[in-house]
Amino acid sequence: MIEVRDLEAAYGETSVLQGISLTVQPQEIMVIMGQSGCGKSTFLRHLIGLQKPRAGTVQINGTHVSEMSHKDYRAFCRSVGVLFQSGGLFNSMTVGQNVAFPLKEYTRLADPVIDIVVKLKLQQVGLGGVENQMPSELSGGMKKRAGLARALALDPNILFLDEPTTGLDPIIAAGIDELILRIRDIYQATMVVVAHDIASSMQIADKIALFRDGKLIELGSPEEIRASRNAYVRQFLNRQAERDEDGEGALRYLR
């Protein structure tokens, strides 16, 4: 479904991704993990086609994303759904208008039909009856669910989710995890999820890719990641602070 080969990315002279290669199989959930600034979100933007690689390729269903014509890219956008950090809702629109936005952009459905689809999508994520509320009236977890309803509006077969549980309490986050798994089964969707939450990632992932400083350092199932002998992987999973050679690390700046 998704094949990335020797992907390199940079902002000016600053290298961000270095030789990333991985594949995502149909109906697989691939979770991208790593410390802040390691290139996870940049990697996701390349998969969506928002950035072009400095080198290497990104293919989805056999097509090079960066080489698509405008027409083909619009068709590609119709086949994928994206959940942005914090939901990414338009604050000037109601929740229903947010979910309807891709339907109005990419289809010719009549407004009464769009209204029905919006209600169904919100019900699927547990938000039935909130279509007339504004995003400012929703809790953090509800915003994530509303963003997910919008991502599902066009019945995509690929979903890109950026930090779906970040900032949520454990109970709400667990609910989002269950929702992600249920949506994968209902839509038979392939998913790429950028995440910091270790517990959530272990719960939903079929495969985990761990990035460090723009490089892919470990790739495998949750069980294989847990059993890794890589020192950094163990440090990351055990939430151990990074240290300098003298053992101080960032602690020196607190004194």
Sorted by where each starts, the structural domains of the chain and their CATH numbers stand as 2-254 (3.40.50.300)
The pLDDT mean for the chain works out to 91
Q: What per-residue confidence (pLDDT) applies to 252?
A: 45
pLDDT the model gives residue 247: 59
Q: How far apart (Å, rounded) are the C-alpha atoms in residues 27 and 50?
A: 23
Q: Are 130 and 51 in contact (CB under 8 A)?
A: no
> What is the rounded distance in angstroms from the CA atom of residue 151 to the CA atom of residue 145?
10
Instruction: Tell me the pLDDT tens digit for each residue of 49-83.
Output: 999 999 999 999 889 998 999 999 988 988 999 99
| Each residue's pLDDT tens digit, 114-164 | 999 999 999 999 999 999 999 999 998 899 999 999 999 999 999 999 999
Q: How far apart are CA 211 and CA 191, in angstroms?
A: 18
- The whole model's pTM is what? 0.89
Q: What is the pLDDT of residues 15-31, one digit of tens each?
A: 999 999 999 999 999 99
Which pLDDT does position 244 carry in this prediction? 59
Burial class of 68 by CB neighbour count within 10 A (0 to 12, 13 to 18, 19+): middle
pLDDT at 26: 95
Interhelix angle 70-79/95-106, rounded to 10 degrees, is 140
The tens digit of pLDDT for each residue in 164-218 reads 988 888 898 899 999 999 999 999 999 999 998 898 999 999 999 999 999 999 9
